[in-house]
């Protein structure tokens, strides 16, 4: 089964928005810790957990225990997304008589554990994992613990017990976001190494400081360490954990408290604090403005594509863009599914296969089997019937569906009915198959036309900009609505891919900040602009955003 990357991303976004709405209406709650584990829960609920929302007590279901129970809004939002109850019930969070308490409670269908006192969830999980073994059941127990609650001695007693009894049907996640209620974890009770000052990024920069994994290994656990917001890493870690025999698994997930909302990120204030209602529209716009960078490896050394893949890995690319050209649909020829299959074992980063080929319906199965996570075909070589066949085949195989249009092609009307379930729309901004072209400026107007059509027909996927994207224009392309950016010469053509990707991200971030300031001014004038700026207290963010506001004439 493939990763189904975009569907997981969509579910994560939906759940985050529900957390914002619920905690705002309640006037309290814990968005920070809900957001740090958002990708973990998204992967579990979207792919790995065995459950039945219509039969919450199904005997053979997997069990999910949220030991860090204060992050209940994150759990409830994911349960609503998958159908345990209506999303509207999130409006009752923390209300008297609600099934959705401030911490998980068994009165809510699907909740497995009353997460009140911290430190107890792992012990409970060991017990139900042992019960499964005694009853010869094959369900798996997944547990999420916090780094703050790891100060509790009971966590380590449970760790010894799990190893002693070889509960290999238990997988725990440590949500390692470095923040607990009072401060940064490394200033309260270090799990890694004591943090001097308030620069939490120091804990990320130097892996030699990471001691937590060694602690869990010394207690007899299988330990996997991942970046906890990378969906593909979470997926791979769960898969590996489920095949590990004889020992329990701890997945140490290095995360960011408040992930996806800049003013919440790495900010202890947002451990347990609800957003004000006046900033919610800006927060939702920021959530809708998450973006990805996808280097196109054909801009590198075509004789050593394996090395180009490795450069993408070291550069921390979100996807790897694979331009498949057949020499017929476009004048050039690159590679086909056989090369993709050769490259696939090199990385778990999603493969974004862009098929610039004739009659893709005849070949799409080969690209599924080769290991593509996203497959895009062109409007120019499909019709309603062939694309429908491709669409259904990709969905059946958990592969994200992409659709592409050339610079001189408008979105065909027959495609409108597919828009709600298309995951990615590539808007070509150069003529495909020719190298060294500049971004076609008419694409800006084309994007404006497209946005109204996409909104009207309930498109919830991602627009990918492909062709001529560089540091000079990426900000305006982002403002047009693109959220995935393919970089050929501007990324792979550079000596240091990591620096090139970082520079791309910095330029998009600046554009996004301006858009959010525009939104603040639109709905609340100068007062809301100043309030929005004032929320950004970590690092240099506030001064950077203030400068953008000054350039815009807002302050």
Residue 517, in any domain of the structure: no
Rg (CA), the chain: 24
Q: Decide: 349 and 497 in contact? Cβ < 8 Å.
A: no
Q: What single-letter DSSP state applies at residue 490?
A: I
Q: 298 and 417, same structural domain?
A: yes
Domain that holds residue 453: 290-496
Q: Which residue has the tokens 């080769």?
A: 370
Distance between CA atoms of 306 and 498, rounded to whole angstroms? 17
State the pLDDT at residue 354.
Answer: 98
Q: Which residue has the tokens 């085949």?
A: 393
State the pLDDT at residue 201.
Answer: 73
Q: 246 and 196, same structural domain?
A: yes
Q: 316 and 243, same structural domain?
A: no
The CATH number of residue 428's host domain is 3.20.20.70
Q: 202 and 309, same structural domain?
A: no
The enclosing H or E element of 370 equals none
Q: 440 and 465, same structural domain?
A: yes
Residue 190, in any domain of the structure: yes
Q: 320 and 249, same structural domain?
A: no
Distance between CA atoms of 198 and 539, rounded to whole angstroms? 9
Helices first, then strands: H and E counts in the chain? 19, 13
| Residues linked to residue 375 through DSSP beta bridges, in sequence order | 353, 401
Q: 264 and 334, same structural domain?
A: no
Tokens of 477: 């392309």
Where a domain ends, among 445, 471, 496? 496
Where a domain ends, among 478, 496, 514? 496
Residue 259, in any domain of the structure: yes
Instruction: Say how many C-beta atoms besides its own lie within 10 A of residue 472's C-beta.
Output: 10
Distance between CA atoms of 118 and 180, rounded to whole angstroms? 12
Q: Please, what sign has the CA dihedral across residues 150, 19, 317, 235?
A: positive
Q: 301 and 343, same structural domain?
A: yes
Residue 285, in any domain of the structure: no
Where a domain ends, among 458, 473, 496? 496
Q: Which residue has the tokens 């958990």?
A: 398
DSSP labels, 389-415: HHHHHHHHTT-EEEEEE-TT-PPPGGG
Q: 294 and 186, same structural domain?
A: no
- The number of C-alpha atoms within 13 Å of 87 and in the hemisphere containing its C-beta is 12
Q: How far is CA 28 from the centre of its chain?
A: 25
State the pLDDT at residue 31.
Answer: 96
State the pLDDT at residue 32.
Answer: 96
What pTM was estimated for this model as a whole? 0.96
Question: What percent of the chain lies above the pLDDT cut of 90?
Answer: 91
Q: Which residue has the tokens 């619920």?
A: 22
Give, to the nearest 10 degrees, the angle between helix 497-534 and helix 280-288. Answer: 170
Instruction: Kindly report, residue by residue over 450-472, the tens digit of the pLDDT.
Output: 999 999 999 999 999 999 999 99
Name the pairing type of β-strands 424-428 and 222-227: unpaired
| Residues linked to residue 146 through DSSP beta bridges, in sequence order | 175
Q: Decide: 396 and 375 in contact? Cβ < 8 Å.
A: no
Instruction: Kindly report, residue by residue over 487-503, the tens digit of the pLDDT.
Output: 999 999 999 999 999 99
Going from the C-alpha of 496 to that of each of 205, 316, 437, the distances in angstroms are 18, 12, 22
State the pLDDT at residue 2.
Answer: 79
Q: 433 and 353, same structural domain?
A: yes
Tokens of 110: 């699907």
State the pLDDT at residue 306.
Answer: 97
| E strand spans, 186-345 | 222-227, 249-254, 292-295, 320-325
Residue 549, in any domain of the structure: no
Instruction: Say how many C-beta atoms besides its own lie within 10 A of residue 135's C-beta.
Output: 9
Distance between CA atoms of 365 and 393, rounded to whole angstroms? 8
> What's phi and psi for 358, nearest 5 deg?
-75, 150
Q: 460 and 363, same structural domain?
A: yes
Distance between CA atoms of 300 and 307, rounded to whole angstroms? 9
Number of domains making up the chain? 2
State the pLDDT at residue 440.
Answer: 96
State the pLDDT at residue 434.
Answer: 73
> What's phi and psi for 431, nearest 5 deg?
-75, 120
Q: What single-letter DSSP state applies at residue 469?
A: -
Going from the C-alpha of 483 to that of each of 85, 229, 552, the distances in angstroms are 31, 17, 23
Residue 506, in any domain of the structure: no
Q: Which residue has the tokens 């990763």?
A: 3
Q: Decide: 37 and 71 in contact? Cβ < 8 Å.
A: yes
Residues of the chain with pLDDT under 50: none
Q: 449 and 307, same structural domain?
A: yes
Residue 73, in any domain of the structure: yes
User: Among candidates 88, 83, 245, 227, which has minimal Cα distance to 168?
Assistant: 245
Residue 511, in any domain of the structure: no
DSSP labels, 251-285: EEEE--TTTT-TTTTT-GGGSS-PPPGGGHHHHHH
State the pLDDT at residue 1.
Answer: 67
The CATH number of residue 215's host domain is 3.40.50.970
């Amino acid at each position: 089964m493939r990763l189904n990357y975009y569907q997981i991303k969509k579910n994560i976004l939906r759940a985050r928005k529900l957390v914002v709405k619920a905690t705002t209406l309640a006037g309290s709650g814990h968005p920070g810790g809900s957001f740090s584990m958002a990708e973990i829960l998204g992967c579990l609920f979207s792919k790995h957990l065995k459950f039945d929302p219509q039969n919450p007590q199904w005997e053979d279901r997997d069990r999910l225990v949220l030991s860090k129970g204060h992050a209940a809004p994150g759990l409830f939002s994911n349960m609503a997304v998958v159908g345990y109850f209506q999303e509207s019930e999130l409006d009752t969070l923390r209300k008297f008589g609600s099934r959705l308490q401030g911490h998980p409670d068994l009165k809510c269908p699907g909740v497995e554990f009353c997460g009140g006192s911290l430190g107890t969830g792992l012990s409970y999980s060991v017990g139900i994992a042992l019960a499964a073994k005694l009853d010869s059941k094959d369900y798996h127990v997944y547990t999420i613990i916090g780094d703050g609650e790891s100060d509790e001695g009971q966590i380590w007693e449970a760790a010894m017990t799990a190893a002693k009894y070889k509960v290999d049907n238990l997988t725990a996640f440590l949500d390692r976001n470095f923040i607990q209620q009072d401060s940064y974890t490394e200033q309260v009770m270090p799990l890694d190494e004591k943090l001097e000052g308030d620069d939490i990024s120091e804990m990320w920069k130097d892996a030699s400081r990471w001691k937590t994994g060694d602690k869990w290994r010394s207690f007899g656990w299988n330990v996997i360490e991942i970046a906890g917001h990378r969906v593909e890493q979470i997926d791979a870690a769960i898969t590996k954990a489920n095949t590990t025999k004889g020992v329990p698994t701890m997945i140490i997930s290095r995360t960011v408290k408040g992930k996806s909302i800049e003013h919440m990120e790495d900010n202890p204030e947002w451990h347990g604090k609800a957003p004000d209602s006046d900033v919610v529209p800006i927060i939702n716009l920021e959530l809708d403005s998450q973006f990805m960078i996808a280097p196109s490896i054909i801009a590198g050394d075509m004789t050593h594509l394996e090395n180009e893949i490795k450069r993408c890995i070291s550069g921390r690319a979100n996807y790897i863009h694979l331009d498949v050209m057949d020499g017929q649909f476009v004048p050039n020829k690159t590679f086909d599914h056989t090369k993709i299959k050769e490259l696939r074992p090199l990385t778990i980063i999603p493969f974004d296969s862009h098929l610039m080929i004739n009659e893709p319906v005849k070949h799409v199965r080969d690209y599924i089997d080769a290991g593509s996570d996203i497959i895009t075909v062109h409007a120019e070589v499909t019709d309603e019937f062939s694309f429908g066949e491709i669409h259904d085949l990709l969905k059946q195989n958990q592969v994200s569906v992409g659709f592409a249009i050339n610079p001189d092609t408008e979105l065909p009307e027959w495609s409108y009915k597919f828009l709600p379930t298309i995951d990615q729309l590539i808007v070509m901004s150069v003529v495909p198959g020719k190298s060294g072209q500049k971004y076609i400026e008419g694409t800006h107007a084309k994007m404006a036309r497209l946005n109204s059509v996409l909104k009207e027909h309930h498109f919830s996927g991602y627009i990918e900009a492909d062709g001529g994207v560089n540091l000079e224009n990426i900000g305006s392309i982002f403002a047009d609505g693109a959220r995935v950016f393919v970089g050929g010469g501007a990324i792979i053509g550079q000596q240091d891919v990591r620096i090139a990707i970082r520079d791309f991200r910095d330029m998009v971030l600046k554009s996004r900040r301006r858009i959010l300031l525009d939104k603040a001014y639109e709905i609340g004038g100068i007062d809301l602009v100043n309030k929005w700026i004032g929320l950004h207290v970590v690092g240099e963010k506030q001064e950077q955003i203030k400068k953008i506001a000054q350039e815009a004439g807002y302050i």
